[in-house]
A and B are shown apart, each in its own frame.
Chain A
Amino acid sequence: MNAQRHLTEAERHDAADGSLAPEQQATVDEHLAQCASCTDDVARVRNFMTRVRDDSTHLDVDLWPDIRSRIEREKIVQLSATTGEMPAVGRRPVGRWLALAAVGAAAALILVVALPRGKGNEVGPTTADPMSPEVQLVVDSTREYEREATILLNELELRRAMIRPQLRSSLDHDLRAIDDAILELKEAIARDPNNPGLRRLLASSYRQKVDLLKRVGG
């Protein structure tokens, strides 16, 4: 560039936001001193940038309750980082059979979700349909298992610091696997509420959770 040629688009933007290379600065300044057109344009870009920086955005809802709720769910897993000792209440490592169970549940989930169903492959919710007695039975037992798991988890939390670290780590790992499976199943059920296979798998996952917590709780 020389004093006669107008600034390029890049030079104008760089001049406006102050990012010109040092070796360009003198030449650009020289041109701007004698070119009203380029000077006006650089000023326009600069004014625009000022407006952008002065603009504000409002967050008018409190997202913390939802975030906290998600964090509390995560804490089941994260507690494995805590330290403490406690006599073992379960003698055998619980990991192996539960890992197998979780893998089995996941495989079954994939099968149930992937296989075509009786009325075709629709995945949308069919909440308008009445729940069949079979599904209702499974839903009721799921609720019961869920309630029991919650009680057992609360009891476990009170004794948690006394569990051997190795067992605690194994427990957290297995609970996480089961909870992940439960979450996936719930999402699948939300898409296909009247699928009895999904409902049974969910009930089975909660039962596994209850069994695990009972074993650890002695």
Chain B
Amino acid sequence: MQATSGTNSPHPSPAQQAAAASDPAIDEVVRRAQHGDVEAFESIYRTHAPQIFALCRRMIGDEHEARDLVQDVFVRAWQRLPTFRGQSALATWMHRLAVNVVLEQMRSTRRDVARFIDDADHDSFSARPTSPDERMDLDRAINRLPAGARTVFVLHDVHGYSHDEIAQMTGIAAGTARAQLFRARRALMRLLDL
């Protein structure tokens, strides 16, 4: 399968959430999956996997690890789907679940979400490319960010979470999240020669 995720709206707007939450066809698929229908759950996978992969890929910075995490996310979604009550759109629920799975993985591998871009880190990734050949694509540039800055940047600028939501999920202060975001943007702009 090849699926592409445009990254501008995997974290749905309130209007999208409301529309999705009230779609009877989706409700029926979710209800069947909640009762153990694996084919219905496969349909949920097909719909949401690209967005979940995009999130994992960007947050964790490694393609293969991201694929493993996508598996973990969907296995956990299968286990927890009976607790989904439909107060939010399934996409939002899945997305939050994925963020939690990735953050758990980062903590278990001691990648400190709260870590600032300190001076040493800054030196290591902020050098401006000197030739067109050195210009990197966005994914490679994001991968060069420290875990904390990458997490905040991906959650805010790519997936549309607010600083308060990020603070709640990661355990860092909202002000810290903002500072991380600003520095991450500047670093990426330098790396991308923008």
Bound: A90/B50 CA distance, A: 47
Closest chain B CB from A168 CB (angstroms): 14
CB-based nearest B residue for A75: B36
Bound: A81/B83 CA distance, A: 13
Bound: A49/B82 CA distance, A: 37
Which residues, 172 to 194 on B, are CB-close (under 8 Å) to A? Answer: 178, 181-182, 185, 188-189, 192, 194
Question: Chain B residues with Cβ under 8 A from A54's Cβ?
Answer: 6, 8
B contact patch SS: helix
How many contacts A-B (CB < 8 Å)?
A: 106
Q: Does A60 contact B (CB under 8 A)?
A: yes
Bound: A78/B70 CA distance, A: 21
Interface segment among A30-38, A63-71, A126-134: the answer is: A63-71
Q: Does B22 contact A (CB under 8 A)?
A: no
Q: Are B182 and A67 in contact (CB under 8 A)?
A: no
Interface segment among B38-46, B85-93, B107-115, B128-136: the answer is: B38-46
Bound: A56/B54 CA distance, A: 8
A contact patch SS: helix
Q: Does A115 contact B (CB under 8 A)?
A: no
Whether A60 touches B194, Cβ cut-off 8 Å, given contacts A55-B138, A67-B74, is no
Q: Does A187 contact B (CB under 8 A)?
A: no
Task: Determine which of A63, A68, A74 lies in contact with B79 in the assembled complex, contact meaning CB atoms within 8 Å.
Answer: A74
Which residues, 16 to 55 on B, are CB-close (under 8 Å) to A? Answer: 36, 38, 41-42, 45-46, 49-50, 53-54
Whether A59 touches B182, Cβ cut-off 8 Å, given contacts A66-B71, A74-B78, is no
Give the residue among B5, B158, B185, B194 with the most A Cβ atoms within 10 A.
Answer: B185
Q: Knowing that A52-B138, A64-B1 are A-B contacts, what are 17 other residue pairs whose CB atoms are under 8 Å apart, sorted by A's residue number?
A: A47-B194, A52-B157, A54-B6, A55-B7, A55-B139, A56-B4, A56-B54, A57-B57, A57-B139, A58-B4, A59-B1, A59-B2, A59-B3, A67-B71, A71-B41, A74-B79, A81-B36
Bound: A79/B82 CA distance, A: 13
Q: Are B185 and A45 in contact (CB under 8 A)?
A: yes
Hey, what's the 0/1 contact readout for B136-171 against A, CB within 8 Å counting as 1? 001100000000000000000110000000000000
Q: Does B67 contact A (CB under 8 A)?
A: yes
Closest chain B CB from A48 CB (angstroms): 5
Q: Are B50 and A59 in contact (CB under 8 A)?
A: yes
Q: Does A29 contact B (CB under 8 A)?
A: no
CB-based nearest B residue for A50: B8
Question: Chain A residues with Cβ under 8 A from B75's Cβ?
Answer: 67, 70-71, 74
Q: Does B58 contact A (CB under 8 A)?
A: yes
Q: Does A2 contact B (CB under 8 A)?
A: no
Q: Does A23 contact B (CB under 8 A)?
A: no
Question: Chain B residues with Cβ under 8 A from A72's Cβ?
Answer: 38
Task: Determine which of B42, B138, B139 lies in contact with A64 in the assembled complex, contact meaning CB atoms within 8 Å.
Answer: B42
Q: Are B185 and A48 in contact (CB under 8 A)?
A: yes
Q: Are B5 and A81 in contact (CB under 8 A)?
A: no
Question: Chain B residues with Cβ under 8 A from A51's Cβ?
Answer: 138, 192, 194
CB-based nearest A residue for B154: A52
Question: Chain A residues with Cβ under 8 A from B45's Cβ?
Answer: 63-64, 67
Bound: A67/B78 CA distance, A: 10
CB pairs A–B below 8 angstroms (25 shown):
A13-B185, A48-B188, A52-B7, A52-B157, A53-B7, A53-B8, A56-B5, A57-B139, A58-B4, A59-B1, A59-B4, A59-B54, A60-B3, A61-B67, A62-B1, A63-B49, A63-B70, A64-B42, A66-B71, A67-B71, A70-B71, A71-B75, A72-B38, A74-B75, A75-B36
